[in-house]
Amino acid sequence: MALQLAAITASTFKRCFLAVCPECGASPVAPLATGFIARGHIEHVWSCDECGTAFGTSVEFLSDDCAVSPALPL
């Protein structure tokens, strides 16, 4: 198994790894739970530190970018 390294830009990191609460717009520090769905597809469950809203995000990693679904309240 070969180790693969990839460099990403700050904007890609922000879009792929940071969430925004759909209720108040705050950014939680870390997800409550993260699940590996399939190769390159990860889902996160978040709880907003400001308003307490629970929501989920889904990230699909592409070759050197990602596609992020909108945050959806749970």
10-25, pLDDT tens digit by residue? 666 666 678 899 999 9
Please, are residues 20 and 27 in contact by the beta-carbon 8 Å criterion? Answer: yes
36 in Cβ contact with 29 (< 8 Å): no
Kind and range of the H or E run holding 28 = none
pTM recorded for the entire structure: 0.68
Residue 13 token pair: 């990191």
Contacts of 28 (CB under 8 A, 6+ apart): 19, 21, 46, 47, 48, 49
- Distance separating alpha carbons of residues 35 and 48, to the nearest angstrom: 18
Q: What's residue 28's pLDDT?
A: 92
